[in-house]
Structure 1
Amino acid sequence: MSRIVNVALGQLGPVQRSDTRERVVARLCEMMREAHALGAHLIVYPELALTTFFPRWYLEDEAEIDSFFEREMPNAATQPLFELSRQLGVGFYLGYAELAEEGGTRVRYNSSILVDRGGRIVGKYRKVHLPGHAEHEPWRRFQHLEKRYFTPGQRFGVTQAFGGTIGMAICNDRRWAETYRVMALQGAEMVLIGYNTPVHNAPAPQHDDLSLFHNQLSLQAGAYQNGCWVAGVAKGGLEEGVDSIGGSLLVAPSGEVVTRCLSKDDEVAIARCDLDFCAVYKRSTFNFDLHRRPEAYGLIVARKGETLAADGTPWRD
């Protein structure tokens, strides 16, 4: 018997700095209702969905920075989304800025959660590949200060949910082959990815006209080479004067795009995903146990002084 998950892409249009959490959550709820009417079991929302993309500004006031972060989830502002999830039986992926307490120290993460059809949090992920820079660079039209505001996450994991094995990633993670491979080695059948991607790439403006192409290329390659479904969902449009791509889409294990959003506004698109279809690739072309040769790969130098084992995990002597 096939394992079917009807997945909705819950693309957001711009979220301005003046927009309250409550206003954004109301938009998310409206999209969840639309997704439910279309038969969705799961709706995927973007990265940092609850606020404007604040890393575009250089901020020094700690209280001002903290105002963009969530100290708990759910909280008063997001509770209606969880209640609606329980009421409708629609799960969701949600990206947000997380302020955590670890050993008495405050730590900021770019995070996402996976919520099941009963409104329960069943998985959390913290963004590993932080792009951008850490200090103010006045030559840019706008900043991209993720390295200033966030601590990198430590691992890619998977969650048993929606009848299968689900992985999560965020934005820049989608560009790195190891993101998908490490989760695929844990059996991932579907990877959910929210993103905020500006059209303009300040360090490499020659990439601007390729933004949508590179987005789709990354998602299709990750899906095909790992035999899994991949849902990539944007927050797009003109937000605080910065134009961001939309291009939300859902890719099958074959690498084929099965549905996409057509605008840069709030939009819902849905597709029927058969998790058993992953086996067509995981048991043939990309049968890792049969065809991979990790003994031939050796150690991969990840950064100066660090190494990864052949399966992408941190090397341990």
Structure 2
Amino acid sequence: MSRHLNVAMGQLGPIQRADSRTAVVKRLCTMMREAKSLGAQIIVYPELALTTFFPRWYIDDVQELHSFYETSMPNIATQPLFDLARQLEIGFYLGYAELAREADGLHRYNTAILVNTRGEIVDKYRKVHLPGHSEHEPWRRFQHLEKRYFEPGPGFHVRRAFGGVMGMALCNDRRWAETYRVLALQGCEMVFIGYNTPVHNAPAPQHDDLSLFHNQLSLQAGAYQNGMWAVGVAKAGLEEGVDSIGGSCIVAPSGEVVARCITKDDEVQLARCDLDWCAVYKRTTFNFDLHRQPHAYGLITEKKGETLAADGTQWGVDR
């Protein structure tokens, strides 16, 4: 008997700086109710889903900066979302900024959690691939200071939940082949990826017209080459004067897009995902045990800042 999981995308329209967490959580709850009415078992929300995308500003007041972070989860503002999930018996994935008090002090992470149908957090992921820059760059139309406001998480892992093997990632992670491969090597059958992606790329404006294409390309390639489902969900639209892409979609292990959001507003779309379909690819084309040759992947070494072949010749020069 096939293992089907009904997955809803809870794409968000813009969140302005003045919007309260209470107002945002009401929007999330509205989408959760709609998802449940459509038969969803889990709804996936975007990265940094509780606030505006604050890394677009250079903020040197620590108190102001920390106002965008959550020190606990759930908390007073988000408890209604957890309560509703438990009431409706639906799970969710949620991205937010985390201020964590650890043994060696305070740490700031770009975080996502996975919550089961009982309203319980069953997994937490901290973003690995932080994009942008760490210092104020006033020449930009807007900043992208994730490297200043967050530190990288420890790595990728999977969790058995919702009848399958689930993984999580965030935004820029989706562009890196290692994200999907490390998860796939742990048996991942579905990865949830929330994102906030501006249309404009300050260092490479020639990419602006390709933003949506690159988003979908990354999700499709990652899903297909690793025999897994990929669920990418955006916060989109014109937020504080910055236009962000939408393009939320669910990609099958075949690389085909099976569901897509078509607006840049709050929108719910759903797909019925057969987790057993992953095995069709994991046991054939992408049977890692049978076809991968990991011994051949260690031929490149780093030496004095140059990438060299194992025999010492420079790639791209002597080959």
Shorter-chain TM band: over 0.9
User: Take 1:137 and 1:127, find their aligned partners in 2: how far apart are those partners?
Assistant: 23
Residue 301 of structure 1, CA deviation: 5.6
The secondary structure found in structure 2 opposite 1:250 is: strand
Mark the CA change 1:301 to 1:184 in structure 2 (over 3 Å): closer, same or farther: farther
Mark the CA change 1:81 to 1:128 in structure 2 (over 3 Å): closer, same or farther: same
Q: Which residue of 1 aligns with 2:116?
A: 116
User: Take 1:226 and 1:299, find their aligned partners in 2: how far apart are those partners?
Assistant: 22
User: Take 2:139 and 2:189, find their aligned partners in 1: how far apart are those partners?
Assistant: 42
Over the matched positions of the two proteins, sequence identity in percent amounts to 76
Question: Taking structure 2 as the reference length, what is the TM-score of the superposition?
Answer: 0.94
Q: What does 1:232-243 align with in structure 2 at a 5 Å threshold?
A: 232-243=232-243
Question: Cα deviation per residue 1:208-261 (whole Å; 9 max; x = unaligned)?
Answer: 000000000000000000000000000000000000000000000000000000
One-letter amino acid of the counterpart of residue 212, structure 2 = L
5+ residue gaps, structure 1: 308-317
One-letter amino acid of the counterpart of residue 154, structure 1 = P
Mark the CA change 1:28 to 1:101 in structure 2 (over 3 Å): closer, same or farther: same
User: Take 1:39 and 1:253, find their aligned partners in 2: how far apart are those partners?
Assistant: 22
One-letter amino acid of the counterpart of residue 5, structure 2 = V
User: Take 2:32 and 2:302, find their aligned partners in 1: how far apart are those partners?
Assistant: 40
The secondary structure found in structure 2 opposite 1:64 is: helix
Mark the CA change 1:184 to 1:302 in structure 2 (over 3 Å): closer, same or farther: farther
Q: How many residues align?
A: 306
User: Take 2:25 and 2:297, find their aligned partners in 1: how far apart are those partners?
Assistant: 46
Question: Cα deviation per residue 1:181-209 (whole Å; 9 max; x = unaligned)?
Answer: 00000000000000000000000000000
The secondary structure found in structure 2 opposite 1:31 is: helix
Q: Which residue of 2 aligns with 1:153?
A: 153
Q: Which residue of 1 aligns with 2:105?
A: 105
The secondary structure found in structure 2 opposite 1:5 is: strand
The secondary structure found in structure 1 opposite 2:276 is: helix
User: Take 2:205 and 2:297, find their aligned partners in 1: how far apart are those partners?
Assistant: 35
Q: Which residue of 1 aligns with 2:28?
A: 28
Mark the CA change 1:170 to 1:303 in structure 2 (over 3 Å): closer, same or farther: farther
Residue 304 of structure 1, CA deviation: 8.3
Q: Which residue of 2 aligns with 1:271?
A: 271
Q: Which residue of 1 aligns with 2:312?
A: none
Q: Which residue of 2 aligns with 1:312?
A: none
Matched, 1:53 2:53: yes
Mark the CA change 1:90 to 1:303 in structure 2 (over 3 Å): closer, same or farther: farther
One-letter amino acid of the counterpart of residue 215, structure 1 = N
Q: Which residue of 2 aligns with 1:186?
A: 186
Q: Which residue of 1 aligns with 2:249?
A: 249
User: Take 1:185 and 1:272, find their aligned partners in 2: how far apart are those partners?
Assistant: 24
RMSD, aligned CA: 1.4
Q: Which residue of 1 aligns with 2:91?
A: 91
Q: Which residue of 2 aligns with 1:138?
A: 138
Rg larger for: 2
Flag as ranges the 4+ runs of structure 1 deviating above 3 A: 299-305
Mark the CA change 1:232 to 1:296 in structure 2 (over 3 Å): closer, same or farther: same
5+ residue gaps, structure 2: 308-319
The secondary structure found in structure 2 opposite 1:50 is: coil
